[in-house]
């Protein structure tokens, strides 16, 4: 039994290192969820000695990111994509993580697609969805009531810049609920992102699962899938030019998460991003506009780490490492191999 425990401990220590990869983004998105779960489970099964399965790194950037995203104190998922070169870097990039409020980007995009189709206008009025007190898990959907009415433009602004949950649920109700957002995600090829509950229910029932140790696929995204969605939105694949600009400009005014992606970045850098926070998890996703004109899409999901300040700091460190890595060594980013 002691030998099994030692093997499990060694496997856990090498979890992040064994899953770091840099490859063209198109190949990374090909993994399906069954293979992801299988790969995760196999990490905890005794196998070859760690020295036989540690990856080799072709540059310090890869090694640094693996170190910063070490999952000894909770799972950490990272993905980044250079829209100019087509190179990506990931740690647990195909493993599901809780989206929390990062899902609000997909909800806003679904609404804006309907604006482009003529179903809505940004000046249309909708009521805030105000939660009605209820006990945890008391029914599949938390009760809400209609509140004050606001224009859709204001609701999107409140949702993305201040992470207002009532404004988000107003938009979600307007488009037709989680099923409508999932339909947009399916049609746009973003199958690694999906929504199961409105924000009121998500918040009411928060804490049922520890994301640091357990994969819950509800209201989840893989870091690579989220980066793919951000990339498509930035490139204008699914929204009109006006809706694209409105979405990205609003994300660039995000007021939450000042200790996350933005914390260690150079002053004046344009970052269109959205944060997420739930029990034992913190996240930040977005687009960094690099000084040389390139755009880097990134998604960082952190669990555990001993508390929220530590999670925020880990996001900040990882984000700065990604910025520096792409800024100073873009030509060195290439596929890496791991000894199994």
- Across the range 187-204, mean pLDDT stands at 96
User: How far is CA 184 from each of CA 9, 19, 98, 107, 175, rounded to the nearest angstrom?
Assistant: 41, 30, 19, 9, 10
Three-state secondary structure call for residue 339: coil
Question: Over 90: is that where the pLDDT of 265 sits?
Answer: yes
Helix axes 241-252 and 104-116, enclosed angle (nearest 10): 150
Question: What is the end-to-end Cα distance of the chain in Å, rounded?
Answer: 24
Q: Positive or negative, the Cα torsion across 107, 275, 100, 29?
A: positive
- Across the range 127-150, mean pLDDT stands at 96
Question: Over 70: is that where the pLDDT of 41 sits?
Answer: no
Residues 243 and 302: beta-carbon distance below 8 Å:
no
Please return the burial class of 330, using the count of CB atoms within 10 Å of its CB with bins 0-12, 13-18 and 19+. Answer: middle
Task: For residue 331, give the nearest of 21, 22, 18 by alpha carbon.
Answer: 22
- What kind of fold does domain 1-102+191-197+209-340 have according to CATH? Beta-lactamase (3.40.710)
The neighbouring-strand residues paired with 332 are none
- Please, what is the average pLDDT of the chain? 84
User: Which structure tokens are listed for 171?
Assistant: 């938009």
Question: Over 70: is that where the pLDDT of 200 sits?
Answer: yes
């Amino acid at each position: 039994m002691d030998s099994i425990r030692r093997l499990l401990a060694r496997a856990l220590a090498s979890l992040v290192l064994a899953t770091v990869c840099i490859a063209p983004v198109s190949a990374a998105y090909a993994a399906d969820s069954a293979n992801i779960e299988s790969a995760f489970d196999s990490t905890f099964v005794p196998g070859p000695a760690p020295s036989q399965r540690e990856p080799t790194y072709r540059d310090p950037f890869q090694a640094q990111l693996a170190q910063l995203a070490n999952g000894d104190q909770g799972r950490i998922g990272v993905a980044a994509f250079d829209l100019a070169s087509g190179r990506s870097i990931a740690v647990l990039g195909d493993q599901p993580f809780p989206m929390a409020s990062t899902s609000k980007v997909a909800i806003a995009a679904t609404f804006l697609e309907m604006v482009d189709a003529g179903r809505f206008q940004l000046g249309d009025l909708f009521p805030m969805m105000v939660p009605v007190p209820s006990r945890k898990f008391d029914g599949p959907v938390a009760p809400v009531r209609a509140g004050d009415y606001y224009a859709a433009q204001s609701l999107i602004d409140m949702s993305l810049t201040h992470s207002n949950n009532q404004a988000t649920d107003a938009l979600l109700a307007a488009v037709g609920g989680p099923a409508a957002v999932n339909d947009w995600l399916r049609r746009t090829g973003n199958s690694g992102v999906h929504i199961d509950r409105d924000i009121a229910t998500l918040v009411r029932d928060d804490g049922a699962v520890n994301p640091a140790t357990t994969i819950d696929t509800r209201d989840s995204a893989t870091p690579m899938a989220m980066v793919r969605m951000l990339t498509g939105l930035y490139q204008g694949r699914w929204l009109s030019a006006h809706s694209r600009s409105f979405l990205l400009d609003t994300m660039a005014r995000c007021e939450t998460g000042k200790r996350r992606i933005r914390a260690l970045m150079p002053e004046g850098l344009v970052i269109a991003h959205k944060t997420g926070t739930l029990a034992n998890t913190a996240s930040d996703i977005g687009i960094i506009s690099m000084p040389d004109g390139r755009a880097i899409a990134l998604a960082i999901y952190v669990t555990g780490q001993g508390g929220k300040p530590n999670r925020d700091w880990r996001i900040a460190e990882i984000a700065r490492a990604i910025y520096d890595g792409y800024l100073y060594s873009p030509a060195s980013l290439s596929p890496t191999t791991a000894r199994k």
